[in-house]
Chain A
Amino acid sequence: MPGQTQDFALANPARPRESPLALSVRRLLRGRSSRVALIVLGIIVLVGLLAPFIAPYDPSAQPDIVALKDLAPSLAHPFGTDPYSRDVLSRVIYGARLSLLIGVLATIVSLTLGVAYGAIAGYAGGWVDAVMMRLLDAFLSIPRLLLLIGVLVAWPRLSIGALVLFLGFTGWFGLSRIVRGQVLALKHAEFVMAARALGASRRRILLRHLLPNLVSPIVVAATLGVAHVIVLEAGLSYLGIGVPQPQASWGNIIQDGADQVATLWWMSLFPGLFMVLTVMTLNILGEALRDAYERRS
């Protein structure tokens, strides 16, 4: 009952009204599956953050390329070793660090671009909007993986920073369409008119009045976006054009064992399990956030 919360907020000036995002997060934590997802994701993030303290071996050390290569899982090497005698568990742990980092950074890039582009198109309206949207249609009809393959093959031996930028540059199209729709819908809302009547600049209206109303869809897009980037980066690394060796990412661990899938099954199985777990928890959280947000509006 929205009316009641309003009264409650008015009656208690000491307790500021909860922001929409905080409300969504509180609703989210009520669900059992999202609580479990949050814990699992928290553990994976922690593993990534503490990688140097948790990993039993140096992830890129090749201690004995003859005697210690291609070892099946054992107590000494729970996830086995790879064809270069590196410990797969340590690589998976460091892979968590890199894959999550790439996911988050690339998503920040695409959020910035997507919000800016969508807000400008929606607020400008008219032919500017029409042109910007047609351009967006074209971007959207190039499959993201193909576009990235085209780019990455042209620039061989890219640094991880550049990879992050390219993943970010190709990930904002969907979000900017959502942002544009929201801005378009809110542009003529009374609070925006009031701000305009008070002489607020365009910039101020966009940043102070419209953007806070977009936080929820942006958070949802960010959560699902990180999941998407992790899968994409893994796919590119699997194709050999993502994270360069000897750095470990979940995708290029799988690629290291790709030639001998049948004999080195542990090299595809374990990093993949971590990847699925991460992506799944992010999907659960993203959708729970969306549900919480949509129930409110």
Chain B
Amino acid sequence: MLRYLGGRLVQAVVIVAIVATITFALIHLAPGDPFSAVMDNPNVNERVRTTLRAQYGLDRPLPEQFVRYVGQLARGELGWSFSHDRPVREVLASALPNTLLLMAIALAGSFALGILIALVQVARRGSATDHALSAISLVFFSMPDFWLAILALLAFTYWLPLFPVGGAVDPVMHDYMGFGARIADRLRHLLLPALTLTVLAAPGVARYQRAALLDVLPADYIRTARLKGLTEREILRRHALRNALLPIISLLGLSFPALLTGAFFIEKIFAWPGMGLAVVNAIGTRDYPLVVGGVILGSIMVTVGSLLADLLYAWADPRLRAR
């Protein structure tokens, strides 16, 4: 078990190192440098440009720049964000909790909803309900994240104004509210983005879990349970679902990239102040350091997520635990 953990940890570190190398290559293969987009225009003094480039070491040979870059990354330095006029690390750090909150709610919600749908489908396999739920899952599974978010915004803030248009809090009134009203205000703003991300992620879970459940149903212990006289419901809940839990944990690790990219679009469309919104807005302002910082942080999040899922798997699977 310890050896497995150690190996997995080393692997995660190697992955992050390779990601850092790839992003470094990205930065330096591109035409110009991080300053080109904002600095290379006649309004900026030539001396300012050369000084700034020298300050950031952009005039040094590449290997030296690489060593510096890795050193900075190791200390958590991600460079300077032009559009925010603050270190990239601070911009991302202040936005990250909002993104994590959104992702956590959507993760919990989509797994609960997805597993529930799968259970209903398997309990009535082959019925009209099963087919209808499969079809609905497929429709939502095929929807681009940003399109569903736009439709949700259109439907539930403009046509049927149930929710506020965007942001995390009411821009004017929030500061004048009492404590309870502030929390209610935050929840009201959180609900629609979180629900949208949940609905986007749930079909994948449902489809995967339905297949996992159908995989265990032919097993001998299910037949034994049936012969013992257990009802179909009990068989599903106590035998099938338990054995189909391991695939759920695998799926947990696999679902982070999709959840993160979903969050990017959803934050943009609902103006939810997370790292997705920060990075997407940085595209418009050509704030390259912030974009690259977002790519690195996103990759680290995915790596850590799949590491955690693997650990959970090792803990949950008695066969692995014994090793």
Q: Write the B222-243 contact mask toward A (1 if CB under 8 angstroms, else 0).
A: 0000000000000000000000
Q: Which of A137, A154, A262 contacts B288 (CB 8 A)?
A: A154
In the complex, number of A-B residue pairs with CB atoms less than 8 Å apart: 128
Choose, from A69-77, A193-201, A214-222, A275-283, the stretch at the interface. Answer: A275-283
A115 is an interface residue with CB less than 8 A from chain B: no
In Å, the complex CA distance between A239 and B267 comes to: 12
A66 is an interface residue with CB less than 8 A from chain B: no
Chain A residues with CB under 8 A of B141: 283
Choose, from A1-9, A41-49, A143-151, the stretch at the interface. Answer: A143-151
Q: For residue A273, which residue of chain B has the nearest CB?
A: B147
Q: Are B295 and A147 in contact (CB under 8 A)?
A: yes
**20 pairs, CB–CB < 8 Å, chain A vs chain B:** A138-B18, A138-B19, A141-B257, A141-B299, A142-B22, A143-B298, A146-B260, A146-B264, A146-B298, A149-B283, A150-B23, A151-B30, A234-B144, A235-B265, A240-B283, A261-B154, A262-B154, A268-B151, A280-B138, A283-B138
A104 is an interface residue with CB less than 8 A from chain B: no
**Chain A interface secondary structure, helix, strand, loop or mixed?**
helix
Q: Write the A127-146 contact mask toward B (1 if CB under 8 angstroms, else 0).
A: 00000001101110111111
B15 is an interface residue with CB less than 8 A from chain A: yes
- For the complex, count residues of B whose C-beta is within 8 A of A: 49
Q: For residue A282, which residue of chain B has the nearest CB?
A: B142
A227 is an interface residue with CB less than 8 A from chain B: yes
Q: Are A239 and B154 in contact (CB under 8 A)?
A: no
Q: Are A146 and B154 in contact (CB under 8 A)?
A: no
A254 is an interface residue with CB less than 8 A from chain B: yes
- For the complex, count residues of A whose C-beta is within 8 A of B: 41
Which of A224-248 touch B at CB < 8 Å? 227, 231, 234-235, 238-241
* Minimum distance in angstroms from A253 CB to a CB of chain B: 11
Residue among B11, B142, B306 with most chain A CB within 10 A: B142
* Minimum distance in angstroms from A295 CB to a CB of chain B: 14
* Minimum distance in angstroms from A15 CB to a CB of chain B: 36
A284 is an interface residue with CB less than 8 A from chain B: yes
Q: For residue B18, which residue of chain A has the nearest CB?
A: A138
Known: A138-B15, A141-B302, A240-B283. A275 touches B291 (CB 8 A): no
In Å, the complex CA distance between A232 and B85 comes to: 31
Q: Are B138 and A138 in contact (CB under 8 A)?
A: no
Chain A residues with CB under 8 A of B30: 151, 154-155
Q: For residue B14, which residue of chain A has the nearest CB?
A: A134
Known: A141-B15, A239-B283, A262-B154. A146 touches B294 (CB 8 A): yes
Chain B residues with CB under 8 A of A265: 154
Q: Are A144 and B295 in contact (CB under 8 A)?
A: no
Q: Are A275 and B147 in contact (CB under 8 A)?
A: yes
Q: Are B292 and A150 in contact (CB under 8 A)?
A: yes
Q: Are B302 and A142 in contact (CB under 8 A)?
A: yes
In Å, the complex CA distance between A275 and B298 comes to: 27
A272 is an interface residue with CB less than 8 A from chain B: yes
Q: Are A134 and B11 in contact (CB under 8 A)?
A: yes
